[in-house]
Each structure stands twice: as C-alpha cells, then as structure tokens.
C-alpha cells in the first residue's frame, strides 16, 4: 500500500539529532533559535517563536494578542478543529465562516458577511497549503487582529508574490509529520511585532521574562533541541520537497482527469503557488458519505492509502452546539458538502514513478466501482 505520506528524512536528519544527543544540551537553545530564524526568513517575518505544536502556536498567538472572553473570532468552517478549539480555549466565541467551493478557503466576501461589531479577530487559513486570497482579505479584515493559520502552508506563495506566513499580525505553522517538513511534533509563531514576539516567548516558557522572573502564569510549550536540529535540517530541503510534491501532484491530477473524469481538485487563486501539502479530491456532486467511505476502502484495497478530506466545523460537537444547523443565512454549508464527498490521496516527494502509477491505478479502479452495486 502506498502510504498517505512519508516524511523525507535521511542520514542528514539522523546525524543532526545524534549531534544534539551527544552534546547533552537537549532543551530549547541554539538549534531552536536557528530554526526560528530560518522559518521567519522564509515567511518574510522579523521574529519566529518555536513552540510544541501548531495548536499551541494558535493558542499562544490569541493569548499574546489578548483575545479572551467576550471576543468573537471568525474561523473558516473547513479544517482540523485546532483553530476553533484554540479560540474556545482562550474563552472567546467562534463564528464560523463558510468556504469557497473550489478553493476550500474562506474568501473576502464570506469574511465581510460574517464580520460583526463584536468581531475582535479573524483566523485566515491556507487550507492544505492552498494560499488564501491575501490581497483581497487585507482591506476586509482591517481593524481586526488577523492570525494566519499557515499550519499546512510553509513554502506556499500568495498570488501577490508574498509568502504564506506573512499575512496579518501573527502566522502559525505546524511541523507534524503530515506537514511538508516535520520535527515530529512542533509549531511556530512568526510576526513582525517585537512586543508580540516577546509575549509569545514569555508564554511558551512558564511566563518567565528571565530565569526565575515570572511575569504571568503560563505553561511550558518549548521545542527541544533535538526537534530544533531536525527543523534546521528539514528547512534546507523545503524547496525541493515542495517542488517534488507539486510535480507528482500535477502528474496524478492530469492522469486522473482522463481516467476518473468526475473527480475535481482544489483550485489555487490565479498566480499563487500552493505547496500541495494535501492532495485532496472531490467525488462527483451527490456522492454520499457512505459511497465516499467505500471509495476510500476501495482505494486502499487497490493499494493507495486514501483517507477522508477534513472536517466541517459546523458538524463538530466540540465547536458548535447544533451539528445539524444550516448557515445563519439558511443555506447549506459548503464545508459540509466538501467533507461529505472529499478524500485525500497519497502524495510525498520521494514517490517513485511506480508509486505514482500505483496511486493513479488504485484511484481509477476505485472510481470505476463507485456506482457498482453494494458488495
Ligand atoms: C489548519 C491546521 N491548523 C492547525 C493544526 C494543528 O497543528 P498540530 O497538529 O501541530 O497541533 C493543523 C493540524 O493538522 C491544521 O491542519
């Protein structure tokens, strides 16, 4: 079975981790600092603050900016629940914003319609590494705290040529193994605001401004030196990883457009450069979740580890009180439809030609079985 993903790790990463182990200096230090500089540079930001994971990055970003009870925060409706959980975690209220049916991100019109006098902040997501419409969003979100959830989007580029990770007040990354580079677990906030960066550093380290000087109560969200060294080694590969992902994705999509013509793929805004962190596909309109599940099962049976696409947060009970509710305007959620017929397909930069052909063949065969009678 071709796995959904396979992180690109070789002797370089092993040597980096062993070097740290042998040094005996295991907690946040020079390696983490170098990793922070590299990710900040990549994102066109002045400061990087590494933390334990992408979810912690979001919680700390909201906390550093003072978001809390009484504040409403706009959150795109199609994603892993972390951004909504982070908002709830700081005591603020989530207001879901539906997503575009082709781009799978929330657009400027959707954010504008959702914004209310109570709105304090907006989280903009580059879902699956697909760049949000940064230039159109900036004026619509003016006056709000803007946090970019770029968890999936390291190395993606907005249509105006600026890097993902450069939008708004703070951008947050994840380095979970499903992301384009990994430190096992890991995350980072990047920002141009020196005071926000200072607060983030205090928040990740027990609230300390100096050893033993506690400015506020806070947890421990530090990254280890082992992870920092891994991150530095991975950053050297970022562009080749993303080039590999894009090249394989182009070939898989082109082949499937011929062999499984009812499948459709996430569309990037014209001129932008997605990193293809996830190769998502939609089954034809009207496909039921049960048919989608059988399609996933069939892909696996034929040798490709497909999986469900993502979550519609309007249906996630830890986010919303009524998982059956329609949108506030009475229309059905686009996010619910995308999740019902969405799948993610295997993609990783070290795929061989044979791996790629196996994915194409498995998906093609599973697609042919879509309308077969139940087994
Ligand atoms: C859009 C988005 N935000 C946040 C996260 C959370 O990152 P982590 O798993 O590192 O906590 C994820 C992880 O899948 C994600 O996809």
Domains of the chain by residue range = 11-235, 239-368
CA 179–ligand 1 middle distance (angstroms): 9
> Where is 120: in which H helix or E strand?
strand 119-125
Give the tens place of pLDDT for each residue, 293-314: 999 999 999 999 999 999 999 9
pLDDT score, position 371: 74
First to last CA, the chain: 22
Does the CB atom of residue 344 touch ligand 1 within 6 A? Answer: no
The span from the CA of 141 to the CA of 108, in Å, is 8
pLDDT at position 8 over 70: yes
**Residue 309: CA atoms inside 13 Å, Cβ hemisphere, count?**
28
Non-local CB neighbours of 8 within 8 Å, separated by 6+ positions: 234, 237, 241, 348, 349, 350
> Is 3.90.1150.10 the CATH classification of the domain at 11-235?
no
Q: How far, in Å, from the CA of 365 to the mean position of ligand 1?
A: 32
Does residue 187's CB lie within 6 angstroms of at least one atom of ligand 1? yes
DSSP per position, 46-112: SEEEEESSHHHHHHHHHHHTT--TT-EEEEESBS-SHHHHHHHHTT-EEEEE---TTT-S--HHHHH
Fold of 239-368: 3.90.1150
User: What is the C-alpha to C-alpha distance for residues 228 and 29, in angstroms, rounded to an integer?
Assistant: 8
The residues facing 147 across adjacent strands are 123, 170
Domains 11-235 and 239-368 share a fold: no
| Ligand 1 pocket check for 229: Cβ under 6 Å | no
State if residue 54 touches ligand 1 by the CB under 6 angstroms criterion.
Answer: yes
Q: What is the pLDDT of residues 131-156, one digit of tens each?
A: 999 999 999 999 999 999 999 999 99
pTM of the model: 0.98
The reply to whether ligand 1 has any atom less than 6 angstroms from the CB of 82 is yes
| pLDDT value, residue 372 | 74
Structure tokens at 71: 């504040």
Cα gap 82→319, rounded to integer Å: 10
Average pLDDT rounded to a whole number, residues 221-245: 98
State how far the Cα of 35 lies from the Cα of 20, in Å rounded to an integer.
Answer: 14
pLDDT 10s digits, 177-201: 999 999 999 999 999 999 999 999 9
Q: Name the pLDDT band for 321 (thresholds 50, 70, 90).
A: confident
């Amino acid at each position: 079975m071709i796995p959904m993903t396979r992180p690109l790790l070789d002797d370089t990463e092993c040597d980096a981790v062993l070097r740290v182990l042998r040094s005996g200096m295991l907690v946040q230090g020079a390696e983490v600092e170098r990793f922070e500089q590299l990710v900040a540079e990549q994102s066109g930001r002045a400061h990087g603050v590494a933390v334990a994971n992408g979810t912690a990055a979001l919680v700390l970003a909201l906390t550093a900016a003072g978001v809390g009870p009484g504040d409403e925060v706009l959150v795109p409706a199609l994603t892993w629940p972390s951004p909504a959980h982070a908002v709830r975690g700081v005591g603020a209220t989530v207001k879901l914003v539906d997503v575009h049916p082709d781009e799978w991100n929330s657009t400027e019109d959707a954010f504008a319609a959702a914004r209310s006098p109570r709105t304090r902040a907006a989280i903009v997501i580059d879902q699956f590494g697909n760049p949000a419409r940064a230039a159109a969003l900036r004026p619509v979100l003016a006056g709000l705290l803007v946090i970019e959830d770029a968890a999936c989007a390291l190395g993606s580029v907005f249509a105006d040529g600026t890097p993902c990770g450069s939008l708004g007040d703070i951008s947050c990354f994840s380095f979970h193994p499903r992301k384009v580079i990994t430190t096992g677990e890991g995350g980072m906030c990047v920002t141009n605001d020196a005071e926000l960066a200072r607060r983030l550093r205090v928040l990740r380290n027990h609230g300390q401004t100096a050893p033993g000087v506690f400015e506020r109560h806070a947890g421990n969200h530090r990254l280890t030196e082992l992870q920092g060294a891994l991150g530095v080694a991975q950053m050297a590969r970022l562009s080749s990883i993303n080039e590999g992902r894009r090249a394989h994705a182009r070939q898989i999509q082109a082949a499937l457009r011929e062999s499984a013509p009812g499948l459709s793929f996430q569309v990037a805004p014209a001129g932008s450069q997605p990193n293809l962190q996830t190769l998502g596909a939609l089954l034809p309109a009207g496909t039921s979740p049960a048919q989608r599940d059988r399609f996933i099962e069939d892909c696996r049976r034929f040798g490709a580890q497909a999986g469900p696409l993502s979550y519609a947060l309007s249906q996630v009970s830890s986010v919303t009180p009524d998982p059956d509710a329609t949108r506030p305007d009475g229309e059905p959620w686009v996010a619910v439809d995308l999740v019902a017929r969405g799948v993610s397909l295997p993609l990783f930069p070290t795929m061989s030609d044979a791996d790629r052909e196996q994915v194409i063949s498995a998906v093609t065969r599973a697609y042919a079985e879509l309308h077969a009678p139940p087994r």
